[in-house]
Structure 1
Amino acid sequence: MTQKIPQHILDALTDVEMPRLGQEPDFPENAEIAGWNIPVRRSAAIVVGSGAAGLRAAVELKRRNIDVSIVSQSAWGGTSACSGSDKQTLHTANTADRGDNFKEMARAIRSGGAMDEDTAYIEAVGSVRAMASLQFLGLPLPQDTLGGTLRYQTDHDEVGRATSCGPRTSRLMVKVLAQEAIRLEVPFFNQTTVIRILTECRDGATRVTGLLAVRSRNQSEENPLGLVLIACPTVVLAAGGPGELYRDSVFPNGCFGSLGLALEAGLEVVNITESQFGIGTRREGFPWNLSGTYVQVIPHIYSVDADGSEHHFLSDYYRTTQELASNVFRKGYQWPFHATRMLDFQSSLVDLAVFQETQKGRRVYMDFNRNPEPVPGDKPFSLSRLDDDVRTYLTNAGANQGAPIDRLRHMNPLAIELYRRYKIDIAAEPLEFAVNNQHMNGGIAVDIWGRTNIHGIYAIGEAAGTHGITRPGGAALNAGQVFGTRVAEHIAAASRTAIQQSECSTDAISLEIDRIKQMLKTDAGLPIKTIRHEVQARMSDNAGILCRSDEVAEALSAARALNRSIRTAGVACSRAGEIARAVQWQQMALVSEAVLAALDFYIRQGGGSRGARAICDSAGEALPMSARGPLSDLRFRVEREQDKAEQILVRLEGHQMAITTRPNRSFDETAKAFFERDWPAWLTGTIFDLDNGMVGS
């Protein structure tokens, strides 16, 4: 029996209003640099980004009496506030009903390989603290009558460690953290786009000294680019992932992340070959992952060609109606595409089929008012004819209603309400979707305290490359909360808070301004639209779920050519309002080259299919099958075990991408803490490893 949830409850969990920012502080100084009058502000620490991870870092820094400010391109406009999935999750290890413990959870987090074992354990241990503190701030995570956290199974997690307060879980996280940051009077600088990280070499090491940012409100005749200088000895990069990198993307528009910014500053990036792709609605409308109950209610999936004819295309891939329907269901907790799940008629055949339909120019829909059409020659769809795991799940959920929309209304009415907020009524009309890029598992290389290879710079959230090849769904949210806290602890312990340490060299700033001026062209240069189209088309068509060695090599060559053209011709920028976007697209072109360089390196070294991508090869060991026979053109390489044990690092040296590898950091599961022995290390701060100031040193 469906329990009707009152509309006001649905509204509260769907229409999540964000708090209003207070009055923005002034820039109290001005500096004459390169003939321009540039506003200056000094701070002990700057957090770049106002998503869940960045807000956590800012709140924890402020609680430790660190003079911290937040700089944001668009407050509440990032991925954690605007995007997500049906059941976006946090992870819990606070119950043991299925034999869970921190070590087991760490193994699940790192199980895909190419992930540091110590980081996985840190995320597992920190998950309890992260969840409890969010509950303290008011995040309405669900409980049972005895106070236990309600949990469920998600992708790459067989135990069931995920929990959720509906499709707006991450937005609710942002809300409660933002309210706390505002309560603590953390200064926000909104509509402020960081375009350069300033560094200097001191005592044989590179250190951060500040940031150059663009603010349209500061544009004047004396400051035509609207530049501001923020002098600071500590920077936390938390600006998310490179959402604009792909044409087919579930990221909100305008999500550029900070990888290009990081590469230009000399930061190392890691695992940027690793992403997640899966089915979701297009970014032209309301981008959203179609995981969880959207597919667990088993809607009818079909395509429409240019003539308006419907195609029941999944029957070309699956042999029986039961097999088809059961694998549509499994996309709920096997949402990301994975090459191995194309084998043996598993769930990633759904992704492949959708991708190939769109490649034909067809539009793909799911209809919640229709059950799946039967495979020709087979019995019609029936809830009683499903694989055992699927039938058991739906039975336990009480989802025995006749139509998918009724099953969805019973299992997750918030899923329907969410789309209604964006003028899409999935109860009345089919929903168009595609295979989209959703998350980069790689990012800026950091150590166990979030430190990068430049002193004073930290990275957290999707900006950090802490994930491996795969990760349990929701682990990214948890990682951002755990490392946001750890970074704050480390910064406080390091006492990098003296304002006088953050003096920026006028000559260095003048040099950066000259480089920016040379890149921006008012009457010539490459148009922003041209760069955007070329970057996004290349990445979606050549670095998506299906990759081929020759195509990746050609794409890399084209990406290098584009960056040479940008260096030579510059980027066209005819309006003051385009300055930040012009720089961001120049940096996104750089990120595209870095990703393709790492992917080309991996493939040339003999790397196989893993995580997000199938490396198609006519000599590959794995051959996907379909109902109509072998998919010979999709034969792919199998992943090599040795590749799981290492990570690929990229660093920009001059105009070249330097690529190296390193083994995963290990974690001794047999080691045990001892209170009297180890307490002094906590009391004295030895645990923070302050003498070792950066990654790789």
Structure 2
Amino acid sequence: MHSDILIIGNGIAALSLVYHLTELGIDKDIIVLSEEPTTRTNSYLAQGGIAIEFGNATNKNKHIADTISCGIINNQTSTTTILSEAENSIRSIINSGLSFEYDHTGNLLKRREGGHSERRILYHSDTSGKHISDFLIQKVNANKRVKVIQNSFCFKLLREGNTCIGAEVYNTLENTVETIYAAKTILATGGAGALYSNTSNSSQSIGSGIALAKEIGAVITNMEFIQFHPTAFVRKEKTILISEALRGEGAYIKDRNGNRLDGVELLTRDRLSRILYDGMQNGEEYYLDCTDIPEEVLTKFDYVRNSLASFGIDISTTPIPIKPVAHYMCGGITTDVQGKTNIENLYAIGETADTGLHGANRLASNSLTEAITVPYLLTLDLLKSDWKESETSNINHYSVDICRNYTIRIDSLRTMMWEKCGIVRTNSDLEYLRNYIATEMGKLDENSSISYAKLKYKTMLETAMIIVDSSINRSENVGTFWKK
């Protein structure tokens, strides 16, 4: 199979790219490849919104300053470019019909979240990700040159010289392998939160793009910086992320005795997560108290409210039990602001990319800003691009064996990542975990056959090893990274 553009992933970054390609007149064949529907992606579940400043240079500079204050080691040039260009990319989508919340005079309403000095978050109730995704899906479906392929797991990128020419894909329904050649390959595979037992992420968020890119020589950076969201309701059957926008509207955090943790509500996620982690290590329990928030404000948080109601919690009267969970991968495949990697014709966008915007700690709601803006800048670059048809390489042949079950081993890895490579780490724990992962990799290599479960576990091990190695190599505590 051949395509001009192969997009691996179907979250907001992938959908935004198709939108911008269409709007700016790039008339090419596009394949959007994914394991599961967009409704299972992390960005679809995003509650907060889009951090953006329109027009006013002073306010834009404040947004840039807040981002760098939060991330500390950000690439300042990339941060300035992305947050400055965000207005153009997001206005384009708004002008195409995407709506947010407005006041009675027609002005956009904005929320404030942790680390922000101003209200600058555009939102739609507490389901901004769903709202944006549903709008973009309509645009994608309207482009007749887009082919959406689901139930497909990309397990290998193809490289000739220093050029990516496509990918090998495992069909999870038919247990077959297909090769897709493409002039341009874009990784939009999301983060790696599902490597952890406690996470807000979907099950496919295993950092697959990281493993794919590293295998063919792409540069990977800052993988030790995994952001933990401080406020989630965690039960065996479901984890419900509690948007920090609630704290921006007046919710506060209490211990089990009802004592308020003063001054922590709008701390950045890394600082608040460590505060809660330290207390929990000493047997403390924490709650998010929304009972002082006016009813007319709580009605803007229907997703959280209804989700918790299914567990018997009325947030207007009852504090919510909370725990930190793995949430966002701040590092990733090293790219410029246009998503370019060091491999020709290979790009990365969204959470799988490290553009330098997030540094050591992502500022709340900057993820959707990046997921819409970098695809816009990539599209501008592709307007000037050379569109040579990709060359065909030798086709690999694989033996498929679907009899082996990896569920227990996957669960063990996720538990160990949480316990030994989580909010606070030690070198001894990391070395133990590294040896465990290496042993598991060796066991997989004993059998050359493949299956969806095996490929997924192999990818999890490879990405986990990158995170562990990066954690061992870092000596300075900064942002989300904390090692004793």
User: Common fold, TM-score beyond 0.5?
Assistant: yes
- In structure 2, what is the Cα distance between the partners aligned to 1:476 and 1:235? 21
Structure 2 equivalent of residue 649 of structure 1: none
Structure-2 residue corresponding to 1:469 = 360
3-state secondary structure, aligned to 1:458 = strand
Show the counterpart of 1:241: 191
Structure 1 residue ranges (4+ consecutive) displaced by more than 6 angstroms after TM superposition: none
Does structure 1 residue 612 correspond to structure 2 residue 484? no
Aligned position for 1:384: none
Picking from 293, 296, 302, the partner of 1:410 is: 296
Deviation at 1:47, TM superposition (A): 0.9
Q: Is the 8 A contact 1:270 1:442 kept in 2?
A: yes
Q: Is the contact between residue 360 and residue 479 of structure 2 (CA under 8 Å) also seen in structure 1?
A: yes
Instruction: Check whether the contact 2:165–2:183 (CA below 8 A) recurs between aligned residues.
Output: yes
**d(CA) in 1 for partners of 2:235, 2:158:** 34
Letter in 1 for 2:323: A
8 Å contact from structure 2 (residues 111, 245) kept in 1:
no
- Indicate how the Cα distance of structure 1 residues 504 and 357 shifts in structure 2: closer, same or farther if over 3 A, else same: farther
The one-letter amino acid paired with 1:448 is V
On the 8 A contact 1:279/1:335 being kept in 2, the answer is: no
Q: Kindly provide the amino acid, as one letter, of the partner of residue 311 in structure 2.
A: I
* CA drift at 1:226: 1.2
Residue in structure 1 matched with residue 226 of structure 2 by the alignment: 275
In 1, Cα distance between equivalents of 2:27 and 2:288: 53
2:157 to 174, 181, 197: 197
The farther-off stretch of 442-451 and 132-141 is 132-141
Of 313, 328, 332, 1:426 maps to 313
SS of the aligned residue for 1:598 comes to helix
> Any idea what SS the aligned residue of 1:149 has?
coil
Contact 1:50 1:78 in 2 (8 A): no
Conserved in 1, the CA contact under 8 Å of 2:424 and 2:482? yes
Q: Is the 8 A contact 1:408 1:415 kept in 2?
A: no
Q: How does 1:69-468 map to 2 (within 5 A)?
A: 69-85=31-47, 88-94=48-54, 96=56, 100-111=58-69, 112-185=71-144, 186-201=146-161, 206-217=162-173, 219=174, 225-257=175-207, 258-277=209-228, 278-282=230-234, 284-292=236-244, 294-295=246-247, 297-298=250-251, 301=254, 311-312=256-257, 321=259, 324-327=260-263, 330-331=264-265, 333-334=266-267, 336-338=269-271, 348-354=274-280, 356-357=282-283, 364=285, 366=287, 404-405=290-291, 407=293, 409-421=295-307, 423-427=310-314, 431-466=320-355, 467-468=358-359
Shift of 1:486: 1.4
Would you say the 8 A contact 1:107–1:120 is kept in 2? no
- CA distance in structure 1 between the partners assigned to 2:188 and 2:276 by the alignment: 33
> Could you tell me how far 1:154 is from its partner in structure 2?
1.8
Offset, 1:352: 2.9
Residues 624-663 of structure 1 aligned to structure 2 (within 5 Å): none
Matched position secondary structure for 2:38: coil
Task: Choose the corresponding residue for 2:28, options 45, 66, 74.
Answer: 66
- C-alpha contact 1:80 1:174 (8 A) present in aligned 2: no
Once the two structures are TM-superposed, the CA of residue 54 in structure 1 deviates from its matched residue by: 0.4
Counterpart in 2 of 1:222?
none
Pairwise CA distance, 1:263: 2.1
Q: 1:490 to 1:284 in 2, by over 3 A?
A: farther
Residue type of the alignment partner of 1:591: T
Superposed displacement of residue 459, structure 1: 0.3
Radius of gyration: which is bigger?
1
Summarize the Cα distance change of 1:119–1:549 in structure 2 as closer, same or farther, 3 Å threshold.
same
CA distance in 1: counterparts of 2:31 and 2:480, whole angstroms: 36
Q: 1:491 to 1:226 in 2, by over 3 A?
A: same
CA distance in 2, matches of 1:353, 1:471: 23
Counterpart Cα distance in 2 of 1:476 and 1:470: 11
Q: Please, which runs of 5 or more residues in structure 2 have no aligned partner? A: none
Q: Work out the CA distance in 1 between the residues paired with 2:261 and 2:286.
A: 15
The residue type equivalent to 1:141 in the other structure is: F
CA distance in 2, matches of 1:538, 1:610: 23
Q: Do 1:199 and 1:210's aligned partners in 2 also have CA atoms closer than 8 Å?
A: yes
Q: Is the 8 A contact 2:49 2:368 kept in 1?
A: yes
Identity %: 16
Structure 1 residue matching 2:384: 3-state secondary structure: helix
Shift of 1:234: 0.6
* Secondary structure in 2 matching 1:212: strand
Cα pair distance change 1:611/1:184, threshold 3 Å: same
**Are 1:139 and 1:176, in contact at CA under 8 Å, matched by a contact in 2?**
yes
Cα offset for 1:421?
Answer: 5.0
TM-aligned CA deviation for residue 406 of structure 1: 5.9
CA distance in 1, matches of 2:291, 2:217: 51
Distance (Å, rounded) in 2 between the aligned partners of 1:166 and 1:474: 14
1:369-416 deviation digits (Å, cap 9, x = unpaired): xxxxxxxxxxxxxxxxxxxxxxxxxxxxxxxxxxx4462633222324
Q: Following the alignment from structure 1 to structure 2, what is the Cα–Cα distance between the partners of residues 177 and 82?
A: 11
Q: Is the 8 A contact 1:198 1:504 kept in 2?
A: no
Q: Which among 412, 415, 419 is matched to residue 541 of structure 1?
A: 419
Pick from 374, 381, 390 the counterpart of residue 483 of structure 1: 374
The Cα RMSD (Å) is 2.7
Residues 200-220 of structure 1, C-alpha deviations (whole Å, 9 max, x = no match): 11xxxx111111112245x3x
SS at match of 1:352: helix
TM-score normalized with structure 1 length: 0.63
Question: Would you say the 8 A contact 1:50–1:70 is kept in 2?
Answer: yes
- Quote the Cα distance in structure 1 between the aligned partners of 2:137 and 2:329: 24
- 2:386 paired with 1:492: no
- Alignment check: 8 A CA contact 2:231 2:244 kept: no
Aligned counterparts of 1:93 and 1:81: Cα–Cα separation in 2: 21
Query: 8 Å contact 2:54–2:60 — kept in the other structure?
Result: no
Distance 2:347 2:128 in 1: 26
1:568 maps to 2:446: yes
Q: Please state how far the C-alpha of 1:451 moved relative to its aligned partner.
A: 0.7
**Aligned-partner Cα distance in 2 for 1:161–1:297:** 17
Letter in structure 2 aligned against 1:612: T
The answer on whether the counterparts of 2:274 and 2:423 sit within 8 Å (CA) in structure 1 is: no
* Mapped partners of 1:356, 1:530: distance in 2: 29
**What secondary structure is seen at the aligned counterpart in 1 of 2:344?**
coil
SS of residue paired to 1:450 = coil
Inter-partner Cα distance in structure 1 for 2:9 and 2:235: 21
Counterpart of 2:224 in 1: which secondary structure?
Answer: coil
Shift of 1:227: 1.3
For the 8 Å contact 1:294–1:408, the answer to whether it is kept is no
> 1:180 corresponds to which letter in structure 2?
K
Q: Structure 1 residues 231 and 95 mapped into 2: Cα distance closer, same or farther (>3 Å)? A: closer
CA 94–250 in structure 1, closer or farther in 2 if over 3 Å, else same: same
Matched letter for residue 149 of structure 2: F
Decide whether the 8 Å contact of 2:5 with 2:184 is kept in 1.
yes
Contact 1:50/1:75 (8 A) holds in 2:
yes
Equivalent residue letter for 1:210? G
Report what 1:555 is aligned to: 433
Q: Give the match for residue 591 of structure 1.
A: 463
CA gap of 1:367–1:554, structure 2 versus 1, over 3 A, is closer
Whose RCO is larger (CA < 8 A, sep 6+)? 2
**Offset of 1:425 from its aligned partner?**
4.2
Deviations 1:588-612 (A, max 9, x none): 1011111110110113xxx2x2212
